[in-house]
């Protein structure tokens, strides 16, 4: 199964087949060991990437390749307000919404596979988590009187006990037994509403949890260990709570005491794992546990990773720590990990060959290895398309790459849609990619956006707001469309959503609302599809409104805002205004205006093609001079205006990122720029320069560059 999954994980082999075998000592995808040099405190591997980059797919592949071969746990952290879900299949991860739930799931996953250091002891004393398990029982209290929370907590306790061989096989029966013995009659529904009464009820509940566990398993060693952490006697002072009860109360208190208790529990986890590997296990070079933690950017996962790194950075543990942790993170390198080592995928084979830095005194984040997932390249996209039975258009792989920038999820969905169309004997060209449907008949742009932007409300807002060219225009458009919601500002809510999901950092006032190029392309394509009703009336209304908005604010923004206004007029299908402003500016004899004129021309060419039937074909005919109606336009009454008209339409067609380079349109660029250079002696140098450069840019699908300016 691992081999099948890896076939779709293009470009991930350095992580799967090089780095992880070095850390675990086991080959990936085959039952074999590899040369293994155990590392003290191996780096925490953080697989980073945006939505759809394949972070979870990497962990799924690792789970498939290593489950059952070494002590193993697979957990997904979720939002604190999200209810943990029971996985439908054994290969799926368990979910944890809190730090304690995460540790409980680690016990359930690791306990069956950890080696037994004392196999001849009775079952109650030979389970591997003799320190952590009592601590987790002590911190598992719930609000007295809350039956739902009690049942969920007792179920997790029952699963931990069963995994450790302490509670038999009937988990549901064990859950009922604990609920009845520890919380009879809901403790009289919490014993009142006063804080003192609730606190006393919770303390008694914690004592009962510890006492109930003591009936199943000796807890004296655990009491002594936690007492040592607190610097107190193992049994308390006769009046105060025992160390285990104190642990539960401190965690429930939160704040500094709660963080100290969490730190103690992570120390207990490492202590128990190290204790499971005695001289015999070390002599046999038994492999150490592997933990896979998905979505570690959520609070529970982030807290666990931080505490593990803190524990390792102390450099004073009395035990070895060779636990291997691979986690995923939404976005790039975490801001709170400034000293983390970052290594690109192709260089991972040598990432562990560097000498280990001293642990004592180092920054905790120095123990983290961030592996950013890279996009697919054209050859890998071509491999996705090679599964087709029929011969496909030769430029499709490049067109898919131009639309998706190699984003794995977007590329895979689009390639699957191409294959589905090929099975239906439909002809697929680069121009038709955004009009494809998947195997179920759903528009491909909608399918991709649902995965990249999971929240429906914000996704629907962004489909319309993405058409605005800056934040002020987006605010005006939101008001024009009557967008409503619980938030005070729909635009701010959309910005916050994009930033929370790591699509962008900060939105500048004069920049686009959606700064991510691929996301902007897909949202615009979805807007063209969904706003095409009633002959494109909504599409035209939005762009007409935005055009008027920029015209009204033109005094503040000058030519730049005027360019934005005509950008929207072109998107609405009105090209005459853009041709007019280009013709007026062409009459300038100021040498410095040549660059501004070319920048405006290139900017106008990036306007989306209107969603009206045959618009793209009409643009090409006008650019090639084949549209008779354009030649009869009384407004085009001189050679310069005729050339500008053809030139603008050619630039408009060639600016589409996914279309195949058109040699005829490239020839139009050379001819018309050459013509204009003869008509405008002051701008002759710049126009002759772009007459050579822009056709080359178009052939290589690069943004048009202006002489003396860097490409944007």
Residue 140 pLDDT: 93
Percent of the chain with pLDDT over 90: 55
556 sits in the region (left: phi over 0; alpha: psi -120 to 50; else beta) called alpha
Judge whether 256 and 245 are in contact, CB under 8 Å.
no
Tens digits of residue pLDDT in 167-184: 777 888 999 989 888 876
Q: Name the 3-class secondary structure at 121.
A: coil
State mean pLDDT over 591-614.
88
Residue 693 main-chain phi, psi, to 5 deg: -80, -40
Beta strand spans in 349-474 (E): 368-372
CA-based max dimension of the chain: 103
Q: Which residues, in sequence order, are CB contacts of 207 under 8 Å at separation 6+?
A: 241, 245
User: What is the pLDDT confidence band of residue 555, given thresholds at 50, 70 and 90?
Assistant: very low
User: What is the pLDDT confidence band of residue 559, given thresholds at 50, 70 and 90?
Assistant: low
Please determine, for residue 625, whether its predicted confidence score (pLDDT) is greater than 90: no
Please determine, for residue 123, whether its predicted confidence score (pLDDT) is greater than 60: no
Q: Which of 203, 202, 149, 208 is nearest to 178 (CA)?
A: 208
Task: Tell me which of 297-301, 389-393, 449-453, 707-711 is least confident.
Answer: 707-711
In whole angstroms, what separates CA 370 from the centre of its chain?
14
Q: Which of 350, 346, 402 is nearest to 372 (CA)?
A: 346
Question: d(Cα 562, Cα 547) in Å, to the nearest integer?
Answer: 9
Please determine, for residue 8, whether its predicted confidence score (pLDDT) is greater than 80: no
Tens digits of residue pLDDT in 66-81: 998 999 999 999 998 7
Q: Name the 3-class secondary structure at 193.
A: coil
Please determine, for residue 693, whether its predicted confidence score (pLDDT) is greater than 70: yes
Q: What is the mean pLDDT of the chain?
A: 86
Judge whether 223 and 235 are in contact, CB under 8 Å.
yes
2-22 exposure pattern, b = at least 16 Cβ within 10 A, e = fewer: beebbeebbbbbbbbbbbbbb
Tens digits of residue pLDDT in 339-379: 999 998 888 877 776 656 555 557 899 999 999 999 999 99
**Greater model confidence, 599 or 83:** 599
Question: d(Cα 305, Cα 307) in Å, to the nearest integer?
Answer: 6
Judge whether 458 and 499 are in contact, CB under 8 Å.
no
Q: Name the 3-class secondary structure at 291.
A: strand
User: What is the pLDDT confidence band of residue 86, given thresholds at 50, 70 and 90?
Assistant: low
Instruction: Please give the torsion angle defined by the CA atoms of residues 106, 107, 112 and 117, in that order, rounded to the nearest 10 degrees.
Output: 120
Residue 130 pLDDT: 92
Question: d(Cα 595, Cα 543) in Å, to the nearest integer?
Answer: 27
Please determine, for residue 626, whether its predicted confidence score (pLDDT) is greater than 60: yes
Tens digits of residue pLDDT in 493-512: 999 999 999 998 877 777 88
State mean pLDDT over 555-561.
50
Task: Tell me which of 164-178, 299-313, 439-453, 675-689 is least confident.
Answer: 164-178
Strand partners for 328: 47
Question: d(Cα 322, Cα 306) in Å, to the nearest integer?
Answer: 17
Please determine, for residue 487, whether its predicted confidence score (pLDDT) is greater than 80: no
Bridge-based pairing of strands 324-330 and 44-49 is parallel
Please determine, for residue 698, whether its predicted confidence score (pLDDT) is greater than 50: yes
How many C-beta atoms lie closer than 10 Å to residue 103's C-beta? Answer: 26
Q: Name the 3-class secondary structure at 48.
A: strand
What length is written for the chain? Answer: 712
Question: d(Cα 650, Cα 624) in Å, to the nearest integer?
Answer: 8
State mean pLDDT over 183-201.
63
Residue 241 pLDDT: 84
Please determine, for residue 411, whether its predicted confidence score (pLDDT) is greater than 80: yes
Please determine, for residue 561, whether its predicted confidence score (pLDDT) is greater than 70: no
Task: Tell me which of 149-163, 443-457, 556-570, 687-701 is least confident.
Answer: 556-570
């Amino acid at each position: 199964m691992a081999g099948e999954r890896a076939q779709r994980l293009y470009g991930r082999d350095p992580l799967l087949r090089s780095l992880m075998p070095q850390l675990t000592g086991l080959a990936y995808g085959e039952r074999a060991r590899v040369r293994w040099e155990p590392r003290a405190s191996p780096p925490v591997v953080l697989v980073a990437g945006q939505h759809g980059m394949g972070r979870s797919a990497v962990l799924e592949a690792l789970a498939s390749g290593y489950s059952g071969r070494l002590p193993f746990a697979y957990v997904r952290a979720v939002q604190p307000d999200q209810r943990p879900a029971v996985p439908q299949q054994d290969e799926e991860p368990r979910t944890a919404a809190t730090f304690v739930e995460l540790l409980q799931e680690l016990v359930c996953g690791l306990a069956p596979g950890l080696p037994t250091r004392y196999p001849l002891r009775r079952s109650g004393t030979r389970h591997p988590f003799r320190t952590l398990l009592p601590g987790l029982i002590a911190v598992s209290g719930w609000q007295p009187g809350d039956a739902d929370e009690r049942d969920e907590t007792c179920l997790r306790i029952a699963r931990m006990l069963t995994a450790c061989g302490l509670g038999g096989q009937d988990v549901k029966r064990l859950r009922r037994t604990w609920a009845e013995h520890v919380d009879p009659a809901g403790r009289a529904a919490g014993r009142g509403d006063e804080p003192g009464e609730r606190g006393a009820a919770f303390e008694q509940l914690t004592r009962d949890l510890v006492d109930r566990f003591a009936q199943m398993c000796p807890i004296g060693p655990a009491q002594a260990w936690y007492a040592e952490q607190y610097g107190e006697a193992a049994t308390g002072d006769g009046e105060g709570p025992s160390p285990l009860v104190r642990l539960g109360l401190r965690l429930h208190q939160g704040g500094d005491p709660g963080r100290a208790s969490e730190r103690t529990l992570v120390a207990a986890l490492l202590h128990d794992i190290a204790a499971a590997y005695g001289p015999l296990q070390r002599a046999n070079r038994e492999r150490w546990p592997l933990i896979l933690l998905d979505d570690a950017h959520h609070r529970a996962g982030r807290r666990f990773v931080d505490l593990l790194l803190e524990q390792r950075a102390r450099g004073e543990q009395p035990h070895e720590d060779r636990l291997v942790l691979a986690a995923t993170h939404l976005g790039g390198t975490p801001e709170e990990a400034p000293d983390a080592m970052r290594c690109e995928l192709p260089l991972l084979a040598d990432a562990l060959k560097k000498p280990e830095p001293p642990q004592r005194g180092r920054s905790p984040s120095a123990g983290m290895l961030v592996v950013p997932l890279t996009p697919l390249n054209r050859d890998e996209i071509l491999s996705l398309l090679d599964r087709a039975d029929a011969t496909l258009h030769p430029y499709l792989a490049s067109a898919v790459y131009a639309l998706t920038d190699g984003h794995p999820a977007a590329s895979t969905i689009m390639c699957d849609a191409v294959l589905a169309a090929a099975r239906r004997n439909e002809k697929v060209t680069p121009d038709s990619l955004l009009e494809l449907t998947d195997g179920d008949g759903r528009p491909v742009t909608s399918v991709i956006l649902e995965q990249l932007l999971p929240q429906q409300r914000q996704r629907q807002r962004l489909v319309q707001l993405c058409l605005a060219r800056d934040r002020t225009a987006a605010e005006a458009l939101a008001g024009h469309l009557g967008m409503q919601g619980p938030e005070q500002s729909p635009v701010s809510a959309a910005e916050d959503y994009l930033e929370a999901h790591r699509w962008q950092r900060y939105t500048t006032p004069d920049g686009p609302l959606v700064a991510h190029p691929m996301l902007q392309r897909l949202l615009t394509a979805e807007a063209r599809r969904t706003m095409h009703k009633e002959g494109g009336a909504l599409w035209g209304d939005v762009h007409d409104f935005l055009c008027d908005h920029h015209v009204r604010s033109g005094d503040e923004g000058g030519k730049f805002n005027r360019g934005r206004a005509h950008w929207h007029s072109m998107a609405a299908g009105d090209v005459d205004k853009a041709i007019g402003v280009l013709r007026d500016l062409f009459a300038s004899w100021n040498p410095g205006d040549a660059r501004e004129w070319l920048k405006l021309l290139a900017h106008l060419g990036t306007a989306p093609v209107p969603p009206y039937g045959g618009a793209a074909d009409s643009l090409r005919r006008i650019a090639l001079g084949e549209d008779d109606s354009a030649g009869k336009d009384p407004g085009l009454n001189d050679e310069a205006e005729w050339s500008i008209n053809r030139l603008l339409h050619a630039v408009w067609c060639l600016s589409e990122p996914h279309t195949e380079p058109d040699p005829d349109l490239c020839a139009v660029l050379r001819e018309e720029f050459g013509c204009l250079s003869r008509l405008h002696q002051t701008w002759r140098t710049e126009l002759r320069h772009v007459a050579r450069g822009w056709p080359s840019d178009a052939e290589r699908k690069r943004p048009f560059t202006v002489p003396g300016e860097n490409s944007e």
